[in-house]
């Protein structure tokens, strides 16, 4: 059986890859993908701890996380569509209207 | 046998995640993200969470990712733009710092559990889906309803945002 620490290391790695993706990419869509990656890293952690502590709480919370991720995707894509209609680009560097 | 499957799924997940962040073409990025989701579903099966694995494939890979691809086709993005920020070196450096920090906090903290703690082989009396349903509708009924309200808010927000307003 695989040790719990292996799952924790995997989840940390995927989370940091998503974090780097949010920081370095210019495309709004790829930034949303990176956020989905980070949510998935949290899910791996929750399910692994649920398995290793013999409870179901982690799996129930994972269900909630998946639901919230679906809602986040819907609202994020609506924002992208509005943005593309105004600017005809999804580059986040052009969103400097509120910059001081 | 189980470590073999774990290392396959873990390695494939990490490689797919790197490709998602690194590929220039957003369509290829979407497909890499799909691969990452499927391999995470394999990890869930390895962890005796069959229902979560099915939900992961049906909702994430089936619904959310198709929504992303659909919007991607609608947008018709130009592929000539630069894809990464100028400060990508700084970002990767800080990512490595965060990774080191989290791993140090995990394994050097006084509260760290002894390594190699493995679960016993107690199989629940009912199946995973049945146990999860009982827990969800008995112990977590209020959060369940709250998540429903959040979804309703998301639907209304998306509709209001994306609606074409006539010129006033």
* Helix/strand/coil for B78: coil
CB contact under 8 A, A67 and B33: no
Q: What is residue B126's predicted lDDT score, i.e. its pLDDT? A: 61
Answer for the pair B81, A26: CB distance below 8 angstroms, yes or no.
Answer: yes
Mean pLDDT of chain A: 88
Q: Could you tell me which CATH number the domain at B1-77 has?
A: 1.20.120.1200
Best residue in A40, A53, A55 to probe B by mutation, most B CBs within 10 Å?
Answer: A40
Tell me which fold the domain A27-91 belongs to: Helix Hairpins (1.10.287)
pLDDT exceeds cutoff 80 at B123 = no
**Structural tokens at position B142:** 């209020």
Domains of chain B, by residue range, sit at 1-77, 127-168
Q: What is residue B119's predicted lDDT score, i.e. its pLDDT? A: 57
Q: Can you tell me the ipTM of this complex?
A: 0.91
Domains of chain A, by residue range, sit at 27-91
Q: Is the pTM for the entire model greater than 0.80?
A: yes
pLDDT exceeds cutoff 90 at B33 = yes
Average pLDDT value for residue range B139-152: 93
Q: Give the dihedral of Cα atoms B118, B121, B126, B127; nearest 10 deg.
A: 60
Is A26's Cβ below 8 Å from some Cβ in B?
yes
pLDDT exceeds cutoff 80 at B115 = no
């Amino acid at each position: 059986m695989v040790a719990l620490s292996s799952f924790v290391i995997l989840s940390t790695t995927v989370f940091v890859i998503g974090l780097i993706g949010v920081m370095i990419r210019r495309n709004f869509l790829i930034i949303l993908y990176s956020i989905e990656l980070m949510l998935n890293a949290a899910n791996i952690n929750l399910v692994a701890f649920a398995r290793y502590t013999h409870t179901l709480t982690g799996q129930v919370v994972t269900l909630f996380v998946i639901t919230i991720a679906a809602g986040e995707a819907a609202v994020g894509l609506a924002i992208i569509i509005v943005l593309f209609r105004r600017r005809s680009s999804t580059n986040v560097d052009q969103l400097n209207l509120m910059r001081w | 046998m189980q470590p073999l499957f774990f290392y396959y799924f873990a390695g494939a997940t990490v490689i797919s995640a790197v490709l998602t962040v690194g590929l220039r073409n957003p369509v290829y990025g979407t497909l890499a993200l799909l691969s990452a989701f499927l391999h995470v579903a394999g990890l869930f099966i390895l962890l005796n969470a069959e229902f979560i694995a099915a939900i992961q494939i049906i909702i994430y890979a089936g619904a959310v990712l198709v929504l992303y691809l659909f919007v991607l086709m609608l947008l018709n993005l130009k592929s000539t733009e630069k894809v990464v920020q100028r400060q990508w070196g700084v970002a990767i450096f800080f990512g490595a710092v965060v990774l080191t920090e989290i791993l140090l906090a995990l394994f050097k903290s006084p509260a760290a559990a002894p390594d190699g703690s493995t679960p016993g082989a107690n199989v629940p009396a009912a199946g995973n889906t049945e146990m999860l349903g009982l827990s969800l509708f008995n112990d977590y009924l209020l959060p369940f309803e709250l998540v429903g309200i959040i979804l309703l808010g998301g639907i209304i927000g998306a509709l209001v945002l994306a609606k074409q307003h006539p010129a006033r």
